[in-house]
Structure 1
Amino acid sequence: MQRYTGQKRLLVAVDCIVFGFDGQSIKLLLVKRSIEPYKNKWSLMGGFMQPDETPDDAANRVLEYRTGLKNVYLEQLHVFGSPDRDPVERTLSIAYFALIDINKYEQQLVDEFHAEWIEIKDLPELIFDHGDMVRMAKKQLRYKAALHPILFHLLPERFTIPQLQALYEGIFQAEFDDRNFSRKVLSTGLLVKLPEKDKQSSKKGAFYYRLNQTEYLENFDSFLNFVPNPDKLLTENL
């Protein structure tokens, strides 16, 4: 087999940044590293790409192996290639991120690697440059949330305005004014009000809504404008 001469060995890894929403808060899926260096320190789901794999194949394999999660949509985020990012060997990492409904995937998690959901506001220190990966993924996620109604995919078939607001507040780590948020959300025409109420959170209860799929598909590229000061919030609290 012909090879390129005079070239040094370079490893390629993939790291998966998986955000989840449980109906109340945004969380990040982490594991404790099983090998040195930094054994037992918090880490993203990572592993090395094999010669017969594409980066996408490797990311999906690593995520399933480390957590048991299958059929999760992973989006390629960035290549992290600082020469000293891994103290063991020169390693590039291709980072992927995803945002999932925890309740839909909870039973897929396996116990072998003890993956844990940790609230995004309480994240521990992570190994290598994983903290930089998470900050970049949060910024990308906020950008998408501000411009498109993608977060509706994380909600159950019927949901309340307070649930939707909790989702956006979790993504942006900021509090939104209840009345303004509700008014702007309803002004989009994306929601259909249902006659039933959720009585668990208060005596008065909150009406359930469902997503108007036709309106959603037709206006996916429209700016929703119910995120206050989106430019400011895109970089705050990262």
Structure 2
Amino acid sequence: MSFAVTVDLVLLTIREGALSVLLIRRAIPPYQGGSALPGGFVLPEEDLDDAAERELVEETGLRGAGHLEQLGSYGAPGRDPRGRVVTIAYLALVPDAPSPRAGSDAAEADWVPVAALPPLAFDHGRILADGIERARAKLEYTPLAAAFCPPEFTIAELRQVYESVWGTRLDPRNFHRKVTSTDGFVVATGRSTAGERGRPAQLFVRGAAPVLYPPLLRKG
């Protein structure tokens, strides 16, 4: 029995304080006119990572992401009306996301807040839910939140990432204390920028720690 392999991309960013995902409007069947994650078929000579990068460019006009990792594989029979198709999903985090440019089999591409999602084609609703939960969980025990930030950022900007991804408010003082006391999470640059109400805010860069200890838990 023959089957095809595709890649699908869960691209997350923060726009206007809201966790948002990149969606396309499909220009061709199946689900023509419907919303979907960007992605497509893997070419015979392609590695999976190369296919993900190509689809990112072809369907959105975006080049590169702050963080890209394999999310999982999805191969339930009937998930694609075109036949037996297995997809490898990728999770990508994009800081300072530009407006995307649709191409290939996408009629439109746009960032959509995850709190206002339309119905999605194929099993992309499940894939997106898995990607969001992966991002939320990894913020607890890895420095992944910095991937949503510019190269230099304030602690307030980092806190806004956690609040947007987790969908909750955090105490600024407690967050600042936890972040700056977690070994290897952030490193002060010695420079400052204007913060809230014109007060100087210290700038940081991501540290070298691959994991956070103690973790920053969503509860408590």
Structure 1 contact 158–208 (Cα < 8 Å) conserved: no
AA at the equivalent of 2:194: D
Please name the residue that 2:54 is paired with. 61
Identity of aligned residues (%): 31
Query: 70, 79, 82: which is aligned to 1:85?
Result: 79
AA at the equivalent of 1:46: G
- Superimposed CA distance per residue, residues 12-57 of structure 1 (whole angstroms, 9 cap, x where no aligned partner): 1111111113473321111001122321111001211122212222
The Cα shift of 1:111 comes to 4.5
Structure 1 contact 25–166 (Cα < 8 Å) conserved: no
Structure 2 unpaired stretches of 5+: none
Q: CA 1:76/1:229 → structure 2, altered by over 3 Å: closer, same or farther? A: same
AA at the equivalent of 1:144: K
Structure 2: distance between partners of 1:159 and 1:71: 20
Structure 1: distance between partners of 2:148 and 2:16: 9
Please name the residue that 1:33 is paired with. 26
Please name the residue that 1:236 is paired with. none
Query: 139, 149, 158: which is aligned to 1:145?
Result: 139
Please name the residue that 1:15 is paired with. 8
1:150-189 to 2 correspondences below 5 Å: 150-188=144-182
Please name the residue that 2:212 is paired with. 222
Please name the residue that 1:52 is paired with. 45
AA at the equivalent of 1:18: L
Structure 2 contact 59–102 (Cα < 8 Å) conserved: no
Please name the residue that 1:118 is paired with. 112
Structure 2: distance between partners of 1:224 and 1:158: 23
What is the RMSD computed on CA atoms of the aligned residues?
2.4
Structure 2 contact 194–200 (Cα < 8 Å) conserved: yes
Structure 2 contact 19–164 (Cα < 8 Å) conserved: yes
Structure 2 contact 9–89 (Cα < 8 Å) conserved: yes
Which is strand-richer, 1 or 2? 2
Query: How many residues were matched structurally?
Result: 214
AA at the equivalent of 2:82: V
Structure 2: distance between partners of 1:80 and 1:101: 27
The Cα shift of 1:206 comes to 5.8
Structure 1 unpaired stretches of 5+: 1-7, 231-238
Structure of higher CA gyration radius: 1
